[in-house]
Amino acid sequence: MMFDQPRQREWIEEVGRRLELGNELTFTSEEFARSMNEGDIAGLEVFLATLIAKGAVSELPSYRCPMTACRLPLPEGSTLLECPYCHIDYREQGVQPMPLTFYRLNGALSRDLRWMIVVHGMNSRAPWQETFSWEIASRLKYSAPILIYKYGWATIDVLVAPYHRHLARKLGYRIREATAQARLAKRTDRPDVIAHSFGTRLFSLVLEDENFADLTFGRIITAGSIIHPNFDWGRHVKTGRIEAVLNHVGAKDGSVPFAQYTIPGSGPGGKVGYTSEAVHNVRNPAFGHSDFFKPVNMKALIANGGLWHSFLTRPLDLFMPEGLFVVRKPWRGMRWPLKCTLRLVGMALFLIALPFSLARRLLDP
């Protein structure tokens, strides 16, 4: 369920805050409402019922003293015959304790960010990479090593599928090496991953390659993704290969929709979303293809309470961000005649431009 009302968003933020701090995890709806200066207790209880259905909250039946001057919650194990606070005998007064419901927040109080792999898009030498590392270290207060994997410049090479597999194998070997180093440093062998644009395509190939079946991952963020919308993320989540996926979609992304026409095996996952129910698709109405990594946007995304920060650190049952959407129908790509024609054109362009590409690599390796 998505919470679209401003007050409901404030409630979910308050729940997340309590879990992160480990404070005030048990409460009544009245206590929660009082802490939020909230008058809509009925709406709040509907909200809490939704969290109960998701397993994020437990319901703890209890009782309170019915006397107007007292009305305190009765301790667990009370006889329900006399109030231990006002010492009123309920039998003499002809009254009974009043039912009262306590709520208990479940789940891990927070999730540590141990280390991370970032796989960038094509031809990226932007300063956001260094800024990102600094922000993780300073704003999130984590000692979290970040491997920013640079696979080199890719231009016409993306027109041929074998080159994708070549780069994906290099990425897989580098991840395996980094995982071994993390294990020696007593860190988890399940890094979180942020992948952008062509980097998402390479990461998906690593997941599908049996040679790298030993690699496991934490939470995955894809931004400006060119992965096929029907990619079976659910299978990898179900088998424990990955923990969870956030697909951050830019509504104004003008590049992703054309990927399927030029890059073999790709699709507009970063525009239409992924069809897998295991994925959290979140759309930002103002973002283009690379706006995720503009300094002002990136700082907001990984600051406390930011979208990426919340996804990477909070229990998933409480991850209900603004812009969350579900893709109801399987995506249908190009028809085979058009696909074959475009692939032939792409191969021809590759062969024509290959000498110039090789020369460029010699001059700018």
pLDDT, block means (10 residues), the chain with 365 residues: 63 80 82 85 88 85 90 82 90 91 76 81 59 64 70 60 87 94 85 91 95 95 94 95 96 87 85 94 94 86 85 81 89 64 54 51 51
Give 209-227 as a DSSP string.
-GGGTT---SEEEEES--S
Length of the chain measured in residues: 365
**Residue-level pLDDT at 4:** 47
Distance in angstroms (rounded) separating the CA atoms of residues 318 and 115: 22
Domain residue ranges in the chain: 6-105, 116-349
The DSSP-derived string for 288-331 is -SSGGGSHHHHHHHHSTTSHHHHHHHS-GGG---TTEE---S--
User: Residue 283's pLDDT is what?
Assistant: 96
Q: 86, 65 in Cβ contact below 8 A?
A: yes
Does domain 116-349 correspond to CATH entry 3.40.50.300? no
Give the pairing of strands 244-250 and 219-223.
parallel
Whole-angstrom distance, CA of residue 122 vs CA of residue 126:
11
> Burial level of 223, CB count in 10 A (0-12/13-18/19+)?
buried
Question: How far apart are the C-alpha atoms of 256 and 266, rounded to whole Å?
Answer: 9
The values of phi and psi at residue 288, to 5°, are -95, -160
Q: Classify domain 6-105 by CATH architecture.
A: Orthogonal Bundle (1.10)
Token pair in block for residue 277: 């129910």
| Residue 246, strand partner residues | 221, 280
- Per-residue pLDDT tens digits for 170-221: 999 999 999 999 888 878 889 999 999 888 999 999 999 999 999 999 999 9
Q: What is the pLDDT of residue 2?
A: 47
3 state SS of 161: helix
Measured at the CA of 347, the angle between CA 341 and CA 353, to 5 degrees, comes to 135
d(CA 29, CA 57): 12
Instruction: State the CB neighbour count (10 A cutoff) for residue 129.
Output: 16
What per-residue confidence (pLDDT) applies to 1? 44
- What pLDDT was estimated at residue 308? 92
Quote the pLDDT of residue 345.
55
Neighbours of 60 (CB within 10 A): 13
pLDDT tens sequence across 137-165: 665 555 667 888 776 555 556 667 788 89
Helix (H, G, I), strand (E, B) or coil at 63: strand
Residues 6+ apart with CB under 8 A from 131: 295, 298
Distance CA 348, CA 331 (A): 28
